Chain A
Amino acid sequence: MTEKKKRVRTYKDTDEKITAKSLIKPFLFSLPFMVGLIIFTVYPFIKAVLLSFMENYRFLSGKFTGYGLGNYQAIIADPNFINALKSTTKYVLIVVPISMALSLLIAVGLNSVKKLQGLFQTVYFLPLVTSSTAIGMIFRWLYDYDYGLFNYFIGLFGIDRIHWLADVRFTMASICIYGIWSMLPFTIILLLAGLQNIDPVYYTAARADGAKSRDIFFNITIPLLMPTIILTSIVNMMSAFKVYDSLFVLYGGKPGPAFNLYTVIYYLYDMFWNKNKLGNAAASAMVLFVIIAVFTLLQNLISKKTNYYK
């Protein structure tokens, strides 16, 4: 005779059974947040997925001719979209590694500075708390042809002035400088937290073995910081793929002086707002979603490999 064992589910680390009644309270507590999440994130997401497959969708009437891949075919055939993908990828590949390297230098430096740490923490946090419109205004002045600080600076090295915002050759550079700068604070904060998690005894041990600062940086600091570096790179990559607001503030709503900085999100906005092609906009959002999802999965895989402690 076999006795059927009834599996009783309990809360983690307790003997308390999970029952419908015991779930009421936690459910109520999470309800306000869940409502917001469902209305503003889950519902629009599902709607966008559906929308991307609706052919000939009419915004006002809500009518469409049927489900299909038409929108995807349309955007892939659209040179604007391919350009947008190209320039967005280029932007990501420039901004993310450079801002990571700069942040790493600054974070390691800040970590070894003991005095005035509070002041530095405020200073490098500024980009994160200042409104992007204000920053945009300031950057437009920095990039100014006649009075801008950037032109003054390169003038010191005898380089001719540059039309940072108007010259097509320099638009990518201008937007990247801005992007790198605005990425620094968040990256530095995370890297600093990661650095402070490294037990100083490893440094002492390495020094006792005769390791110089350079050896320690490459053999100990970097590998032990790897989980944080990967995490931050991925987060930065996601936000870089969504580049849009910096274009808006620097070029006053245009994607570059000659429409040459067409990014994926700008394409989405353009399709949605100017051209009223909601299906195409949704399809481009889905493409971006898949790209970002791939990177997230990649990050999950790598971060499991770099967990040295558990």
Chain B
Amino acid sequence: MKVTIKNLTKKFASRDKNGEPVIAVNNLTAEFESGKLIALLGPSGCGKSTMLNMLSGILPVTSGKIYFDDTDVTDLTPDKREVGLVFQNYALYPHMTVLQNICFPLKIKKVPKDERIARAKKIARMVHIDEYLNRLPKELSGGQQQRVAIARALVKNPKLLLLDEPLSNLDAKLRLEMREEIRRIQRESGVTTVFVTHDQEEATSISDYIVLMKLGVMQQFSATRDIYNNPANLFVADFIGNPTINQLHGEYTSSGFKPDGTDEIIPIKADVAEGTRTILAARAESVTFNKGENGISAKVNDMYSSGKDWLLNIDIGNNNLRGYCDADYELIPEEIIKVQFKDKGVFLFDEKSGERYC
């Protein structure tokens, strides 16, 4: 099912420190393709959970419209929208067994007992929880509880599956496992899925599309690959990617970008007035080092490992940056080396507004 969001806004009655009403979601427009996995991503307080709650119908909207396919669902209650919800702490009913939990939505819908047990068992098999049908939630691990919560949300064949921070209550190892499981379950069921997360790695690793939000405003909505390779502004470039994108402060000149604290120029072409304060942002993998003559001079500080890769920490003028280097790189602190930037993964932003120039 396709989800269309038009000019969606949510204002809360509470006021911020300037006495203005809190706008949790501000005039957001987006269209989610059917059968895709979409991540609502952003730092805390960006309005992503508010978005999710408006999609589910738990929260009424202030203005704007939500369409499921061509049906306007803006004023419908959650059960009328046919959405499946997975809560952050799973909200499994503690007094019901796994089977009873999964059956509950069907019981409410007065589905005959035989049918609801059959459907619940089928879903339980899909989420790999069928061995534990007679256990109580307290007898399950976090990951198993998560599976039950997903099964309970899927059993009524929802048109849209919504997950609120589905992995935040799991430990690091289980998180990796469960996010792949969510991906698999989503593929198998084919249901359009929206999930909320504050972890960019989680979002980029499993979603088809990402909605990146900041203070209620959508910063970018694009395919997951594009958001990394083609960030709309400095916030997006900074938020997505690990290690964090390098940022060099400096000035735009006719021949390129001049970092602060050096007279050398990094050649880059953009449609910007000369003398504009700008930020050159470069992914770690777009920075290359050589001990020859090509590129801009940099002073070596240190190198350290990030798993299989090694990162070299250097200074260009007053700016500090990191780039990948070979594991056998011969480190000489304070050595002056040359740095070059690839075309891909290097962007120029306005220093003040964060607007992207190239």
Name A residues whose Cβ lies closer than 8 Å to a Cβ of B.
199, 201-202, 204-211, 215, 219-220, 223-224, 226, 306, 308-310
Contacts and interface: CB of A to CB of B under 8 A. Distances in A.
A256 B77 CA distance: 57
Contact of A208 (B58, B95, B107, B109): B58
A306 B94 CA distance: 10
Interface centre among A202, A210, A226 (most CB of B within 10 A): A210
B104 A209 contact: yes
A215 B108 contact: yes
Contacts of A211: 79, 108
Contact of A207 (B78, B104, B109, B138): B78
A201 B86 CA distance: 11
A211 B104 CA distance: 9
A308 B87 contact: no
B345 to A, nearest CB: 42
B248 interface: no
Contacts of B58: 204, 208
Contacts of B137: 308
Interface residues of B, number: 25
Given A208-B79, A208-B83, A215-B108, A202 B91 contact: yes
Contacts of A226: 95
Contact of B79 (A201, A210, A310): A210
A209 B91 contact: no
Given A201-B87, A210-B108, 10 more contacts: A204-B58, A208-B57, A208-B83, A209-B108, A209-B156, A219-B104, A219-B107, A223-B95, A223-B96, A306-B95
Contact of B108 (A204, A206, A308): A206
Contacts of B95: 223-224, 226, 306, 308
Given A201-B89, A201-B91, A310-B138, A208 B108 contact: no
Contacts of B93: 202, 205, 219-220, 223-224
B207 interface: no
B85 interface: yes
A41 B105 CA distance: 53
Contact of B109 (A199, A204, A210): A210
User: Which 5 A-B pairs rank lowest in CB-CB distance, beginning with the nearest?
Assistant: A210-B79, A308-B94, A208-B78, A209-B105, A205-B91
A140 to B, nearest CB: 45
B136 interface: yes
Contacts, number: 60
B50 interface: no
B138 A206 contact: no
Nearest to B106: A209
A205 B85 contact: yes
B109 to A, nearest CB: 6
Nearest to A226: B95
Contacts of A207: 77-79
A204 B104 contact: no
A199 B90 CA distance: 12
A202 to B, nearest CB: 6
Nearest to B107: A219
A201 B87 CA distance: 8
9 contacts: A202-B93, A205-B91, A207-B77, A208-B79, A208-B83, A210-B108, A219-B104, A220-B93, A226-B95
B193 interface: no
A205 B108 contact: no
B56 interface: yes
A206 B104 contact: yes
Contacts of B109: 210
Contacts of A223: 93, 95-96
Interface string B65-97: 000000000000111100101010101011110
A226 B94 CA distance: 12
Interface centre among A201, A208, A220 (most CB of B within 10 A): A208
Interface centre among A205, A207, A215, A308 (most CB of B within 10 A): A205
Given A207-B78, A208-B79, A209-B108, A308 B138 contact: yes
A219 B103 CA distance: 12
Contacts of A201: 87, 89, 91
A130 to B, nearest CB: 37
A208 B56 contact: yes
A209 B96 CA distance: 16
Contacts of B78: 207-208, 210
Nearest to B86: A205
Interface string B92-128: 0111100000001101110000000000000000000
B356 to A, nearest CB: 39
A303 B156 CA distance: 33
Contacts of B83: 208
B138 A209 contact: no
Nearest to B95: A223
A255 to B, nearest CB: 43
A210 to B, nearest CB: 3
B227 to A, nearest CB: 30
Nearest to A310: B138
